[in-house]
Every structure is written in C-alpha cells, then in structure tokens.
Amino acid sequence: MKQITIETSQGNYPVKIGYNILHHVKDVLTHKQRILVITDENVSKYHLETLKTALEPYAFTCFTLSNQPELDKTLIRYQKLLDFAIKEGFDRHLTVLAFGGGAVGDFAGFFAATYKRGVNFYQIPTTLLAHDSSVGGKVALNHPPIKNIIGSFYQPELVLYDLQFLKTLPYEEIQSGFGELIKHDLLRDGSLVKSQINLDELYNNQELLMDYLYQAILTKYNYIKTDIYDQLGMRQYLNLGHTLGHGIEVIYDMTHGEAILLGTCFDLFLHDENWGLELFNQFKNWGYFKQPLQLDEKSLLTVLRHDKKNEQDRLIFISLKDYGKPYAIQLNDEEFSRLLDKFNNVVMK
C-alpha cells in the first residue's frame, strides 16, 4: 500500500492506494455515527457485498444513483436525497461514504458539504478516472446542459483507493481513466509516455498500475497544494487538454479521457507541431482516436465561449515547454480558427 498526505487549510487527509485495503475504512469509524453510503447501481451490483463485509460490524444506510450516475448529479436527485436524509433523521454527526466513480464522488461530496453545513466525508473511489476526482476537494452538481456549475470545495477526511474494484470496469471507462493518468504523466516527467508500454499490460500489472496511480495523485497534489481554491495559479495547469477537450467531449461521441487526450495533442501542437503529431500517433497506437474526425471550428468555438476556463475575448490553452513544464497560451477567435485548421490538416488528416 502507498500513502500520500494531502495538506490543506481545511485540514489534512491521507490518500491510501493499494489492493484489498478496504478494511482501513474502519480505522476512522466509531459506533456513535450513522453511516450513509452513496453509490450507483453498477458499483452496488458488483461490490456492495464486499463493502458490507469490510464494514462489519458497522451497519449503514444506502442511497443509490442509477447506472448512469452522471445524469443523476443534479439538484433533483439532491432534493430526493435531502428528503431521504430527513426521513432517516440523520444529524450533523452523519458520515457520508462516497462509493463509486467521479460522478458519485462529486454528488456525495456536495451533499456532505451542505447537509447541516457539513458532515464527515470519506471517498472510496472505484474508477481509474477517480484517482483524479477523489483528490483535491472539488465537489459539484450539474445543471444541464452545464456541467459542475453548482459546486464547492470540501475536502474528504480519507480517500481509500482500493484498486481491487477496477477489475469490473468496462473497457471504455478504463480507456477514459487512462486519459487523465496520461495527462498527469505529461505534467510530471512523461515516463509513461516515453515507456510506450501497452495499456492493457499496465492495467493487468498490479504493482505498476498502483505505482502510476500513486505518481498521478502525487502530481495532482503538487499542482493543487499552493492553489487549493483554483485562483488561476498552479491549479489551472491541470487543465492541460481540457479547453479543446471539453468542446470535443460535448460535440463528438467521445469519452472525457479520450477527448482530453485529443485536446492535449492540440495544446502540444501549439508549442511544437511535431510533438503534437508524435503524441497523436502514440495515442492512436494505444487504441484512441479510432474514428476519423475533422474538428469543426464553428461549433467548437460556440462551446468554448461558454467555458469558465476562458476569459472574455481570449481562449486559454495549457501547453508544455517540456514534460512537467506547463504554461498558458491565450488565443483570440481568429488565431484559434487558423491553428485548428492547421491541426486538422497536419495531424488529423
């Protein structure tokens, strides 16, 4: 097992990463609290029994989102949970356990942050992508069509990342999660990208996967620790790939992780055309970008204009001077259109 201690002004908390480490959840529980597990139908189907066993002798109450928890990250579901919490008589000593991917974590965290002005909150992430979402304290709900528009910062008291749960993830969720892992690798030293290891091999190699996830969380921590509240300091660099990636995700049929990898190719292309092209080819070898695609600048611009990452008349992209050396590039609409056209012709041809 590996451990990282996250230090914030809201308090410090450990992130524990390993296989079959779930029993550590009992280190933080006491018999006085009621426990509310927030999960979704998929996670519940595969893993709730395991959680039950690990929590014994503690009993808990469950609130279960659907098998598309992203669609449940809404005020409507939040109100349903409030009704449930009041009926159950939960008081401010309640302990909320988020048991699921990023959607469950964001939803449960938002509830924990706001119910009775804040109750105990623990994260038990179950997706690859949640190595990112479970650390850093951002919690949120969607107000369709805008994602994460209602939110807050609320740090968990423990993140228990038991990698045994990853084995039931569907292929596209694995691929999407690796997208964020690759992003963190580029923001660190590029060792994963340089190794060119096959991603299936990595997924099946417990030691190596644990190590890369540990490194990725450590990298995220290094970027957030001086900028916990995301005041356009270091934390903005975690948006590598996300400006264009967000637009691609909204318009084209791509997972978040794949879209941000394509966005990353564009961001690196802005710094060095060959580097952008090289990475595009490597990501293709890794099984991404199977569908031929030409990016449509008009529809992308419309989405990017509404993105909170951008300023009034400037779009902000995060690129790299080298591995681990991010910087921001600002483009106006014409510059963006011209460079996207070039990217289409040189990289996505």
Ligand X SMILES: NC(=O)c1ccc[n+]([C@@H]2O[C@H](COP(=O)([O-])OP(=O)(O)OC[C@H]3O[C@@H](n4cnc5c(N)ncnc54)[C@H](O)[C@@H]3O)[C@@H](O)[C@H]2O)c1
Q: Name the site residues for ligand X (rule: CB under 6 A).
A: 40, 42-43, 46, 67-70, 73, 100-104, 106, 126-127, 129-130, 132-133, 136, 138, 147-148, 165, 168-169, 173, 176
Nearest approach in angstroms of CB 39 to ligand X is 9
Nearest approach in angstroms of CB 127 to ligand X is 3
Nearest CB to ligand X, comparing residues 126 and 343 = 126
Nearest CB to ligand X, comparing residues 136 and 241 = 136
Nearest approach in angstroms of CB 250 to ligand X is 13
Residue 276 CB: number of other CB atoms within 10 A?
Answer: 20
Report the distance separating Cα 270 and Cα 346, nearest Å: 12
Nearest CB to ligand X, comparing residues 121 and 269 = 121
Sheet (strand 61-65) strand order? 2-8, 11-18, 158-162, 120-125, 95-100, 35-40, 61-65
- What does DSSP say about strands 146-153 and 138-143: parallel, antiparallel, or unpaired? antiparallel
Cα separation values, 96 from 78, 111, 114, 176, 218, Å: 14, 9, 12, 27, 25
Nearest approach in angstroms of CB 65 to ligand X is 8
Residue nearest ligand X, Cβ-based: 102
Are residues 222 and 235 in contact, defined by beta-carbon separation less than 8 angstroms?
A: no
Nearest approach in angstroms of CB 260 to ligand X is 10
Cα separation values, 26 from 5, 23, 47, 92, 134, Å: 18, 6, 17, 20, 19
Nearest approach in angstroms of CB 87 to ligand X is 25
Nearest CB to ligand X, comparing residues 101 and 276 = 101
Residues 6+ apart with CB under 8 A from 71: none
Nearest CB to ligand X, comparing residues 167 and 194 = 167
Are residues 243 and 263 in contact, defined by beta-carbon separation less than 8 angstroms?
A: yes
Nearest CB to ligand X, comparing residues 36 and 216 = 216
